[in-house]
Amino acid sequence: MSNRKSSCNENSEQISGFQYPSSPITGSPLQDIMDETVSRTNDSSRSIVDNIIVDRQERSANSSKLGIQSSPLTDKLNRISQRQRLDDMRQSKKENKKSMRRGGLEKMEWFVMNGEKIIEDKNLKVDADKHMIPVDILAELEKEQEEEMELLEDDDLIEFIEQKEHWEKELEDMMADFSITES
């Protein structure tokens, strides 16, 4: 392992012209890449998945050697955010399934608009019933109006008769004056 690190350090100096600062345990980024390349060439019989798992195990071991552990608060926040993302994905899938079951967005739009129209019609009917004049009061009002019309007709008739009598009296007075002057 130390041979690999020293050869990697030499390679890093040759490639880049300077050496990256590194800790004694983790090494430089270039050194890590070189280590992975060497380990992959030695273990060509392992699959890609095995290589990834081994790489993660090595990183985990290195971080635990250094005493680096993620804080419980960070772990909790990560779990909460991951749970929220999963819940959002599930909710999105549910909504898509509901939409497809209902015949797509166009049919859902028609369904919603039709439902709103029915609700509005019911509200208008309730308002109309609330402000409607009861039938018995309406009949009473009509009867009063008819009586007033009859009284008006009677009053007009009485006035016409009185005026007729007045004209007849004036005509008689004129005739009386006319007949007096002739005799």
- pLDDT tens digits for range 126-143: 998 888 888 898 899 899
CA distance 36 to 133: 91
Average pLDDT of the residues in 74-81: 85
Q: Where are the domains of the chain?
A: 2-69, 102-131, 138-183
Average pLDDT on 36-42 reads 54
Q: Using the predicted structure, report yes or no on whether residue 89 has a pLDDT greater than 90.
A: yes
pLDDT, tens only, 6-31: 444 444 444 444 444 444 455 555 56
- Residues of the chain above pLDDT 70, percent: 68
Confidence of residue 5 (pLDDT cuts 50, 70, 90): very low
The 3-class SS string of the chain reads CHHHHHHHHHHHHHHHCCCCCCCCCCCCHHHHHHHHHHHHHHCCCCCHHHHHHHHHHHHHHHHHHCCCCCCHHHHHHHHHHHHHHHHHHHHHHHHHHHHHHCCHHHHHHHHHHHHHHHHHHHHHHHHHHHHCCCHHHHHHHHHHHHHHHHHHHHHHHHHHHHHHHHHHHHHHHHHHHHHHHHC
Question: Is 0.85 topped by the overall pTM?
Answer: no
Cβ(97)–Cβ(108) under 8 Å?
Answer: no
Amino acid at 111: F
pLDDT-derived band at 154 (thresholds 50, 70, 90) equals: confident
